[in-house]
Structure 1
Amino acid sequence: MNPSGNRLFFPLMMAATLLAGPASAFNLDSDTPIKVSADSARIDDSAGTAIYSGDVELTQGEVQLNAERVVLYRNPQGLSRIEASGTPAHYRQPAQDGSGVTNARALNITWSARDNQLTFERQALIEQGGNTFRGDVIHYNTVNRVVTAEGGNSSGEGSGRVEMVIQPRSSGQ
């Protein structure tokens, strides 16, 4: 840990409950296609990139990513990485078990197929079922269901620390 307190880094297994429902962000083994709509697009087959700008919406089934700009990276195996940016970019995914919806936002959202990881950077906030998780950078390993978070410099946006609010269980349980 950084002794100055300006940056805080620690793994949060408990925070995985915020993202417990999703098994993966985008499923490349699915028969469901990934659809993209935007105001403009630039596709460079030789570089393996597609850049979408202006009110971009990327969906696969019920998984949805909205941003001002999205870059898709392809390799010979297929889609390898998605980078989204906005003020903020938004990510939404229903839990596979029907227990709710995960809503997240950050200035930058990245999905990496190789790492099985979603990364929310800068002003990151994840909400699910009344629970909230906030940090400057939040990494979520979609296979191992492990969340790691870092705080940032304190600013008008927050304390600079990782913050989590977990709702109590209802009294009937």
Structure 2
Amino acid sequence: MRAALRALGVIGLIAAAPAASAQTFSDAFAGFGSNDREPIQIEAKELKVQDKSQSAVFSGDVVVTQGEATLKTQRLIVHYDGSAAGGVNQRISRLEASGRVYIASKDQTATGENATFDMNRQLMVMTGKEVVLSQGPNVVVGNRLTVNLKTGQADLEAPKSGRVKVLIQPKSLNEGAPRN
């Protein structure tokens, strides 16, 4: 059974904040790839550059930051266009994270086992036995999350034999709303 949530539908409702400043869960991913004005900083215990395959493999407590977004994982493969000899201004075309992937931005977090960021198509896909998205006390759980980084549309799928789970704390939806 496949279940999906749309960012502008249910996820937007779950993540609702007062007035027009409402953000969706997909905003947590917007920092990676869609913001080409902010540098991407990567730290790890080890780096192996593979110029033939136009990639760099970071391993060991990898931390990636861009703007307000942070990604933590055990292994990250960065695919780039051009030669590593071309300097630090290489264009990143794809990120592949594996091993306890954690992404955070402001009060939003997402966790899973693997995540890929396709910078050319502006798509992020996170998979795992449980992909957990949270914003404050609200939580959404599935096993495959696809986010269009440009539009913010997100689809969360359930395992074949399971269902998407949503936990909404009542007070989180009423913050800032007038009481009768």
**TM value normalised by structure 1:** 0.79
What's 1:10 paired with? 4
Tell me the distance in 1 between the aligned counterparts of 2:29 and 2:77: 23
Aligned ranges for residues 1-173 of structure 1 at < 5 Å? 7-12=1-6, 13-16=9-12, 17=15, 18-19=24-25, 21-22=27-28, 24-26=30-32, 27-30=34-37, 32-76=38-82, 78-86=91-99, 88-94=100-106, 101-122=107-128, 123-154=130-161, 160-168=162-170, 169-170=173-174, 172-173=176-177
Tell me the distance in 1 between the aligned counterparts of 2:157 and 2:56: 30
More helix by share: 2
Tell me the distance in 2 between the aligned counterparts of 1:9 and 1:114: 27
Secondary structure of 1:79's aligned partner: strand
Is the Cα contact below 8 Å between 1:25 and 1:111 reproduced in 2? Answer: no
Tell me the distance in 2 between the aligned counterparts of 1:164 and 1:81: 30
- Count the aligned residue pairs: 154
Structure 2 CA distance for partners of 1:171 and 1:79, relative to 1, 3 Å: closer
Structure 2 CA distance for partners of 1:127 and 1:92, relative to 1, 3 Å: same
Is the Cα contact below 8 Å between 2:28 and 2:109 reproduced in 1? Answer: no
Q: Post-superposition shift, 1:44?
A: 1.2
The superposition leaves residues 132-158 of structure 1 with CA deviations (integer Å, 9 ceiling, x where unpaired) of 11111011112222111211155xxxx
- RMSD (Å) for aligned C-alpha atoms: 2.1
Tell me the distance in 1 between the aligned counterparts of 2:175 and 2:68: 32
Letter in 2 for 1:78: R
Q: Post-superposition shift, 1:128?
A: 0.6
Q: Which runs of 5+ in 2 are unaligned?
A: 16-23, 83-89
The superposition leaves residues 111-143 of structure 1 with CA deviations (integer Å, 9 ceiling, x where unpaired) of 111221221101210101221111110111122
The superposition leaves residues 77-114 of structure 1 with CA deviations (integer Å, 9 ceiling, x where unpaired) of 7101111111x2111112xxxxxx21110000111112
More strand by share: 1
Letter in 2 for 1:82: L
**TM value normalised by structure 2:** 0.76
Is the Cα contact below 8 Å between 2:95 and 2:117 reproduced in 1? Answer: yes
Tell me the distance in 2 between the aligned counterparts of 1:128 and 1:162: 16
Tell me the distance in 2 between the aligned counterparts of 1:167 and 1:60: 30
